[in-house]
Amino acid sequence: MNVYLDYAATSPLRAEVLERMLPCLKENFGNPDSLHAYGRRAAFLVTEARDRIAEVLGVRPNEIYFTSGGTEADNWAVCGLSQDGGVLASSIEHAAVLTPLSRLPRCAVCRTGEDGVLSPAALAEALSGREISLVAVMAVNNETGVIQPVPELAAAAHEQGALFFSDCVQARCCDLKALTAVCDAVSLSAHKLGGPKGVGLLWVRKGVRLSPLIAGGEQERALRGGTLNVAGIVGMAEALSLARSEREAFISHTRSLRDAFEAHILSALNGEARIDGVEAERAPNLSHITFARGGEWLLSALDLRGIACSGGAACSAHAARPSHVMLAMGRTEEEAKRGVRFSFGQETTAEEMRFAAETVAEILRERR
């Protein structure tokens, strides 16, 4: 049996999304900036998609900027919202936030607790005495699934006069309207939701100044030049709409799979596995487990048995480094190399979950 348990890296394109996209790839192929009928039709599809997304997020359509994905949106937020001021981010952010952050002249990182949560009190203390213009804290960690207290963190940032940006790429389980209600900017990526790869967005609240990202075109209010990905944008709107309507079913289904998976692993391995972030509120579809005998060999062994999972963020899969998220949570470098992330989707079945759990336990028992 082949089992895909890496939905946090990417999810398969949904049939409903593909159906919406196909006309954009065939007959409605025009450039949305062209003035003729082909262009007007494409422009209408983009406007329609932008309106649909705005409704899902509870925001204004002209506050949405389309990007090539979550990484671009994160980079743009960090560099485009800081306005030469100081930027403070949590220690568990995705590399798409931490890497551009490290290149800024004034930046700081705030450590989370051992449960992977950044407390509002810790953020307030880190902000005290610093001139910070932007705070960046992701809504859901992409490795552990730990959910951050975004409303309280945003309030702490605003109290100190700073903007608050949240990477919401993994926040499928969250109420996105509730997040945009308290944040100043949010990033999303379509392919984490059953949409196409190569498209994402950055939402920025009206009145917040955003520096241009790409020069050379008038697209996206002259802030990001380049011909828009019409099919991708239309697909993202459909994927977001579906994710919103199916949110409760998604939470229920993936939580039951994750909980049963973790229970089987813990029982079968008898103290040789630890669930990371279990002390905190977690996204229902993610499980990060540190094994006593884990490592890259385990990922390879699982792959040979037909099970697809990862050691953390897909963007860092080829880097033989310990997880910076695990290090931030107080793990040793050796421990931070032994974690495996399993992530479930709507398509995952109970049979697949059981097979995967039994296979993990069998491989590790053989390793003894």
Instruction: Please check whether residues 104 and 217 belong to one and the same domain.
Output: yes
Element (H, E) at 314: none
Instruction: Please check whether residues 241 and 278 belong to one and the same domain.
Output: no
Q: Which of 24, 107, 309, 315 is catalytic?
A: 315
DSSP assignment letter at 65: E
CATH code for the domain in which residue 215 is found: 3.40.640.10
CATH code for the domain in which residue 317 is found: 3.90.1150.10
For the segment 113-130, the average pLDDT, to the nearest whole number, is: 95
The answer to whether 207 touches 23, Cβ cutoff 8 Å, is: no
Instruction: Please check whether residues 91 and 232 belong to one and the same domain.
Output: yes
What does the pLDDT look like over 159-172, one tens digit per residue?
999 999 999 999 99
Instruction: Please check whether residues 160 and 57 belong to one and the same domain.
Output: yes
Count of the separate structural domains present in the chain:
2
Instruction: Please check whether residues 211 and 256 belong to one and the same domain.
Output: no
315 among known catalytic residues: yes
Q: Which two tokens stand for residue 55?
A: 């409704």
Which residue range forms the structural domain that includes residue 269? 3-11+247-367
Instruction: Please check whether residues 241 and 252 belong to one and the same domain.
Output: no
For the segment 88-116, the average pLDDT, to the nearest whole number, is: 95
What does the pLDDT look like over 231-265, one tens digit per residue?
999 999 999 999 999 999 999 999 999 999 999 99
Q: Residue 320 has what pLDDT? A: 63
Whole-structure pTM value: 0.95
Instruction: Please check whether residues 336 and 219 belong to one and the same domain.
Output: no
Largest Cα span, the chain:
69
Instruction: Please check whether residues 151 and 235 belong to one and the same domain.
Output: yes
For the segment 153-163, the average pLDDT, to the nearest whole number, is: 97
Of 222, 245, 268, the residue that ends a domain is: 245
Instruction: Please check whether residues 166 and 80 belong to one and the same domain.
Output: yes
Instruction: Please check whether residues 266 and 237 belong to one and the same domain.
Output: no
Of 210, 245, 280, the residue that ends a domain is: 245
For the segment 172-186, the average pLDDT, to the nearest whole number, is: 98
Instruction: Please check whether residues 155 and 238 belong to one and the same domain.
Output: yes
Q: How far apart are CA 255 and CA 110, in angstroms?
A: 30
Q: In terms of DSSP H, where are the helices of the chain?
A: 15-25, 37-57, 70-81, 95-102, 120-127, 150-159, 176-182, 219-222, 230-245, 247-269, 296-304, 324-328, 350-367
Instruction: Please check whether residues 68 and 19 belong to one and the same domain.
Output: yes
- The residues that bridge with 340 in the sheet, in sequence order, are 289
What does the pLDDT look like over 316-338, one tens digit per residue?
444 468 999 999 999 999 999 99
The answer to whether 254 touches 261, Cβ cutoff 8 Å, is: no
Of 177, 212, 245, the residue that ends a domain is: 245
